Each structure stands twice: as C-alpha cells, then as structure tokens.
Chain A
Amino acid sequence: MIQKSILEALQKIVGPPHLLTQKEDMLTYSYDAAVLDPVMPAAAVIPETKDQVGDIIALCAENQIPITVRGSGTNLSGGTIPYSSGIVLLTGRMNKIIEINEADMYAVVEPGVVTATLAAEVEKRGLFYPPDPGSMAVSTIGGNVAENAGGLRGLKYGVTKDYVMGLRFFDSQGNYIKTGSRTVKCATGYNITGLMVGSEGTLGILDQVILKLIPAPKARQAMVAVYDTIEQASETVAGIISARIVPATLEILDNFTIRAVEDFSKAGLPKDAAALLLIEVDGHPAVVTEEAEQVKALCLKMGARTIDQAKDDAQRDKIWAARRAALSALAQLKPTLVLEDATVPRSRIPDMVRALQDIAKKYRIDIGTFGHAGDGNLHPTILTDRRNKEEFYRVEQAIEEIFDVALSMGGTLSGEHGTGIAKAPFLEKEAGYSSILFSRQLRAALDPSNILNPGKITGV
C-alpha cells in the first residue's frame, strides 16, 4: 500500500486519468511474457513529459517507493514484474520520435517508441535500424535498451547495445544524466551508456535514446537448406562461420518445429526433414551473389539434401514467414510455453543441439528447438501445462540442466532475453559471486534506497 497523500501527489503530477490504482488495473500490470508468478503493484502512472518523470522519481525517492518501468511488457525474464509496495511507470505516452538525422545517420527517440514503428520510419529514408527482436511489432525501444534485446540479425549486425550511442536518463534521486553523444566517437567520462544498456531499469530511468543508423543493404538473397540429420545442419552452421562468411541471418529449425510449423501454416515444408537452415546474405549485389554461391556449395558439401534460393521477394517472404511462424506454431500445441535463450559460442552449436535432444529425452518433455544458430543463440522451447505440477517440476529441472550445459561450453544463460527475476538465481553460476557482489555494490552506491526495479538481475 502507498499512503493516500503520495497517491494524490502522483495524481497531481500526471493528471487524474493517468494514475491507476484500482485492483483490476493492477492485475493487468502484474505480469509480463515470462512464465513467472504475477505480483500486483500498488499503483501505475503514465507520464508524458520529462518533467513528469523527474517529479515522479523525486517523489518516490523521498518516500522510498520502488519503481518498475514498463514498456509493452513483452520481455521473457520477468524484468517488468513489479514490487507489491511499488509503482509501475508506463512509457506508453512517451512515444515520440524526436529526430531522424539522415546526414549523420542517427535517431533520437523517447523510450515508449515501438521498435517496428522506428524501423519503418528509418526505412522510408533508405536507412536501417537492424535489431529485430521477435516482439518488435510491440516491444519498445526503452524495453529493448533495458534488456539489450537481440533478434535474427545479431550474427552480422549485432544487438541493441551495438546501436545505442547515447542516453538521457534520471538516476534514483531524480537527477538528469547525459551520457554518450550524437557523434560516432565519444571518449569523455565513463561509458555509462554501455552500463545502462541491459540494466533492466535498475540503475536509472530512460528519457531519451540516441540510436545509430546504418545504410540499408542494397541486395539480399534468402535460401533454405534441407537436412536429413540435425548434426549435418548444425555442422554447416559452424562450417559457414569458419569459412569467414557472415550471413545477415542464419536460422535453424529442428524436426519438431518443422512439423509444428507445417501443421499450422501449410507452408510446404518437408515434414520428414530432420532440420532446416534458413539463410540470408545481404550487402553489395556482387558480394551477395558470390557469398550465396559459396553458402550453397558449403551446404551441399556438408550433406544438405537440397538447397533452394528465393527467386523473388514473394519467395523470400515465404521463407521468413515460416521462421516467424515457429513460435506461433509451437504455442498452439500446449497451454504453457517456456522460451529459453541459453547461448553458446557458435562453434559449439552441434554439441548444444545434441545436448538439448538428450535433455528432452531425459526429462520426458517436449522441446522444439529453433533459433539464431549463426550467433550461437538457440531457442529451446519447452511445451508444457503449468497446471501439471509434476511435469512442470521436470521442466524446471530441464531448464537448469540447459543452463549448466550452456555454461560448460563457455556460453551464457541468456543471449537476448535478459536476467530479470527468471535468471537472477542462476547468475552466480555464470559470473561468480564476486561479480554479483560488484554489481550489488554498484547498485547500492547509485540507488541507496533500492527503489529502482528491486529484485532484478542481482537478486536484491
């Protein structure tokens, strides 16, 4: 509960329609896309301006009220599940694209801008904002920055952190901080921008993001390779990388996923195939042609049954529609879907794929595996029904084993979904206790009252 006088003060800052306190509304801000227990906040505020955000934070700092920032609530790690005595700060009204600078190739946006909206605006000007997380149709730039979101193009183009040039944010006391700049190079002060990306709202609250843009590639070529064993497919992935070819996208679908997609969308995928690789190379037309030929030859050499090249945009769209349908198709099979994103060095993809198959067998659960094989970031997708307690226990054990296996290969617990609550208890396994202690000390220094998204990342 929050004192009535504080609620009144919040209401005064944002105006009556933009403070929500009814239990019904609190329920709708108690969850995100992670499979975790919901927690209802005490209030939700929807500010529109920088000053309102500053005032809200100052008020919360004075009264030690926890704040959890929420964009579209699509993250998969519980990063936006609030604190029961705290508030949720919604960025929905802070959704202006402030500037798209074509000459200097950058954009300045407010945190509530939807990723796909920015990508489309940028594309109209012949520029390119590459990070494309699966939820980009709804996810916000603020959320992408806070979670360091990835996507299908990570292999060649990197992830959100590679595009954040600068930030404007409020610290836990409501002071306004500027970091980074509109220039390509910037060597002043600490690299606070880098620290803020992926900090999940635990170090500050964003007001503006300066994003790097790049020229749109002139040509692209998509291909599908069909395999009779998943080993051949995963070895091809390692083979393409070691041949020094960097496709824009290099995705894998296993047989379980292929069958689900085909049953769902009747796209004409070979249901008997053990695995598919969906590959796209892009760039200068001459390079694209040459690399496409090299990739084709490599796939066949590694044992692909067939490899088909998209002849036009319609065929290309069909290929990526099949990939985009993967999650949807799997989601229809069972009520609960746990989407993991443990990531390994890409040369270990064949080992990881084998390990996932063993884990599915060992715990007697359904795992569909697809994902960004080219950057080592697979998405083992566990299908279950959370109401079945016995099965869900096995699911939790399997997840822990997936983490262990990924770490044993020199990988990470999360390639792109973030730590949040879901992975906080396991972080020590990956980074060791002193790293956690370092993070906690950093956090305690910057946020002594621990009001910024408590419980996330460092477990405190």
Chain B
Amino acid sequence: MADMKELANLVKELEDQLVTCIRCGMCQSVCPLFEQTRKEADVARGKLALLTGLMENMFTDPDGVNERLNRCLLCGSCAANCPSGVNVVEIFIKARAILAEYKGLSPAKKLIFRQLLAHPGRFDAMVDWAGRFQGLFAKPDANAQGTSCARLVSPLLSNRHFMPLSSNPFHKTLPEKGVTTPGSGPKAAIFIGCLIDKIFPGVAHASLKVLSHHNVGVVIPPGQGCCGIPSLASGDRDSFTRLVDHNLALFEKYDFDVLVTACATCTSTIKKLWPSVYKNPSPGMQKKLTALSEKTMDINQFLVDQVGIEPIETGLEDAEKEIVTYHDPCHLKKSLGVADQPRQVIRAAGCRLEEMAGSDKCCGMGGSFNVYHYDLSSAIGTLKEHNIEATGCTAVSTGCPACMMQISDMLGKAGASIRVRHPMELYARALEKLTP
C-alpha cells in the first residue's frame, strides 16, 4: 500500500468538485439511507466531508472512509436535490475508484469483475450453467412475482425472495448475427443489459414487439457485455473501461440513430458515466463516448418523444381497467429527468395509473448495496412495498430491472399478490390483445 500522502494527492483530483458543497445539509431531507440511520456519515454532506478529510491527509488509513463511502445506494437523490449542484454520484464513483486502486480489489471482486464480467462470453456461459443448477439450491415461491427462495438456510441468500435466472436468456434466442430489421423513421440499436438478458428476457422480447409494431428499424448486435456499473460501483475502473471498449467496438459496426435500453441503470451509465469516468480516454475516444452518450435514450422516452404513441383502444371503461402504480427508478427520474414518458406508456397500454406516495423514493436496491447491506436495503424497500400496496394496484410497473428485482423481493416477502412489470411488458401485452 502506498502512503496516505499519495492517496491525499489522488483525491485532490476531486477538489474542485468537493469545494462546491456548502454544507447546507439539504441532502438529509431526501437520502433514503439517512432516513433509516440518521447518521451524518451516511448522507452526502458527511461523505463529502470525509473525502475532504482524506484529501487533507487527516487519517492514518483509508479503511474507515472507504467503508463509509460504500454505505451509499448511489441513487443520486442528494444530487437531484442539491442547491449547489454538487455532482455527488460522479464524485463518489471516482472516489471509490481512487480508493480501490489504492487499496487493491478484494480477491472475490477481482474474480467477479476481472475474470467474469469483463469477458461477456465467459459470463454468459457461467450464468447459463448456473441457471441449469439453480433448482438444487432454490425453490420457486409460486407467487405473483415469480421469485424463488433458498431451499436451505444460506448465509449468502438469507431470506431473500430473489428472481431466478431465466432458463432461456435473451442472448440465446438471438440469431448468430444478431437482429437487423428495416423500418421507417429513426433507427434504434438496443443495448440489452445483463439483468434483462439473464433474468427478465421478457422485457427485451416485449421491447422488440413494441418497436416492430411502431415500425421502428432495430439493430441488436450479438455478444453484448455488461454496461460496467457493477465494476464501477466497486471502484474497478479498469474492468469498466474494458467493458466500455468491448461494447463500443461492437456498436460501432452498425448504423443507427438512437441507442435505446429498457434498463434505467444501463441508460444512465452509458449517458453519464461512460464519458465521465472512462480511464484516460484519448481525444478520439472521448469524442466517441460523448457522441454515443448523446444518442442514448430510455426506451419509454424514445417511444413517447420520438416515435409517438396513441392510447391502445381496449374498449374498457375506466373502472374496468387494471390498476397499475409506477415506481420511478432513481436512474431514470433523478439522473435523466425521465418521469412522464413511462407513465404515458402505462396509460396508453390501457391501464389505470394510480400514483403511490413517494413514487420517486429509492427502492433500496442500489446494486451491490443490496448484497452488503441487506438489512438496510430491506428496510428502505419495505417503505416502498407499503406505498405500493396502499394504492390497491394489481401490478407495479417500473423502468429498471434492478428495481424490479428489489420490489419483487419485498412484495414476495410481504406475501402480496401484486405483479411486477416493465412498462414495455404492459404495452406489449395490450398490443397482443389488439391483434389476436
């Protein structure tokens, strides 16, 4: 380990961003973690102060700061509510990278990020293999969410009701050369994302169906990798950069106007983090990253703003429509300002949208936060589950597969008979009824 002075110098890279925090404390009013613990080190103001402390070489080792920095959902609620416009998520991600590079990754993370995630082919094969054997350690819940739980008490899974791996991941149903369909209007390339591919392939199929119904030309390159956010959240900027390289090279071969994803987290990562956190980009690379970022869009936003949709005629009276509530993924609303479009899609799909209290409050997933802090993650998720149930809905919709996992777990644990559906699934289902 290098000395702390060197680390202080590395953190100095963030100084101009750190000094913009005026310590007003407004982040406390929206932080889902602070709501649970009411500890200053759990909220953005405290973490920014800790990074400033690190920069001023106040500590003898970085572990205490590192540990506190990782107690964060990276939901961006603080940034969206910050009077000074502090770019909190970018600061935290860069700080995690600096600390991880300084300390070195744990062996487990090294294995996962360097040997698996960073090699999309290897990762796909591993997950396929795991999918075949998951029945040995997990049993289906037979509930509305379609979750599973552990057969035996397992320290790894605790009492989670997790979404099983799909027996038929989306990439396996793709033709070898991928998909290229002609259409009228803007041409859309689709970035699938790991969770949709491996756990919710139905979302990808639904998206394709919706786009083809609207006569949108689609490109789906085969061999897509992860967007890189799991590596980045753990500070592994090398694996992240390698994944960006892989995906960029893949999509470069195709001609398209818009890159759409049905995963809020992937969209936000490609748009915001690819251009800002890629390690040492050449000027040419920076240009490519910025250009792709500008072309990237959430699929609901694309459908509503660029394609244009009309309500599907279901012939149902208002009272007969299915009651659906919508959860705003942090990576859509707070990161990208997309909130109205998914709601329009849900209404167009012939559902009655019933707003829940705090629809834009974080569900508590936060990627690896859920793995390392399951108790806190569940406490936050339980608030969401109560708000969903209070609407009297039969389905909850959200535009992010990670939120779908967390909400499924929470509803499953509560024994609620509420289904979890992506807006694209609702819309595709309505289309199916239209054309039997």
Contacts and interface: CB of A to CB of B under 8 A. Distances in A.
B26 interface: yes
Nearest to B53: A27
Interface stretch (A275-283, A328-336, A357-365): A328-336
B83 interface: yes
Given A24-B41, A332-B84, A387 B25 contact: no
B26 A137 contact: yes
B59 interface: yes
A87 to B, nearest CB: 15
A5 interface: no
B28 interface: yes
B345 to A, nearest CB: 25
Given A328-B83, A332-B84, A24 B68 contact: yes
- Point out which of B28, B45, B83 has the most chain A C-beta atoms below 10 A from its C-beta: B83
Contacts of B46: 28
Given A24-B64, A328-B83, A335 B19 contact: yes
A23 B29 contact: no
Interface string B39-72: 1110001100110010000110000110010000
B64 A328 contact: no
B38 interface: yes
B38 A92 contact: yes
Interface in A373-406: 385-387
A315 B53 CA distance: 44
A95 B22 CA distance: 26
A327 interface: yes
Nearest to B48: A28
B65 A24 contact: yes
Given A90-B38, A332-B85, A27 B49 contact: yes
Contacts of B319: none
A385 B58 CA distance: 22
Interface string A72-84: 1110000000000
B20 interface: yes
A22 interface: yes
B153 interface: no
B83 A23 contact: no
A138 interface: yes
Contact of A72 (B28, B41, B84): B28
Contacts of B24: 33, 74, 135, 327, 331
B64 A22 contact: yes
B22 A337 contact: yes
B151 interface: no
Given A24-B59, A27-B49, A32-B23, A138 B28 contact: yes
Interface string A26-47: 0111111100001000000010
A116 interface: yes
Interface string B1-32: 00000000000000000011011111011000
A313 interface: no
B41 A25 contact: yes
Contact of A335 (B20, B38, B65): B20
Given A27-B49, A72-B28, A138-B29, A387 B19 contact: yes
Contacts of A387: 19
Contacts of B20: 332, 335
A50 interface: no
Contacts of A28: 39-41, 45-46, 49-50
Contacts of A33: 22-25
Interface in B286-323: none
Nearest to A134: B24
A135 B46 CA distance: 17
B34 to A, nearest CB: 9
B25 A138 contact: yes
Given A24-B64, A28-B40, A336 B22 contact: yes
Contacts of B41: 24-25, 28
Contact of B25 (A23, A72, A336, A385): A72
B50 A73 contact: no
Interface in B226-248: none
A331 B19 contact: no
A219 B421 CA distance: 43
Contact of A23 (B26, B49, B59): B59
A137 B25 CA distance: 10
A357 to B, nearest CB: 24
Nearest to B46: A28
Interface in B70-117: 83-85
Nearest to B47: A28
A331 B58 contact: no
A405 B22 CA distance: 27
Contacts of A443: none
A337 B85 CA distance: 13
Interface string A342-375: 0000000000000000000000000000000000
The 10 closest A-B pairs by CB, nearest first: A92-B38, A328-B83, A28-B46, A28-B40, A24-B64, A137-B29, A335-B19, A331-B84, A74-B25, A138-B28
29 contacts: A24-B41, A24-B64, A25-B41, A27-B49, A28-B45, A28-B49, A32-B25, A33-B23, A46-B38, A46-B39, A73-B25, A74-B25, A92-B38, A92-B39, A95-B38, A135-B25, A137-B26, A138-B29, A327-B83, A328-B85, A331-B22, A331-B83, A332-B20, A335-B20, A336-B22, A337-B22, A337-B84, A386-B19, A387-B19
Interface of A: 20, 22-25, 27-33, 38, 46, 72-74, 90, 92-93, 95, 112, 114, 116, 135, 137-138, 327-328, 331-332, 335-337, 385-387
Given A72-B25, A336-B19, 20 more contacts: A22-B64, A24-B41, A24-B59, A25-B39, A27-B53, A28-B39, A30-B49, A33-B22, A33-B23, A46-B38, A92-B39, A93-B38, A112-B38, A114-B29, A116-B29, A138-B28, A328-B83, A331-B22, A331-B85, A337-B84
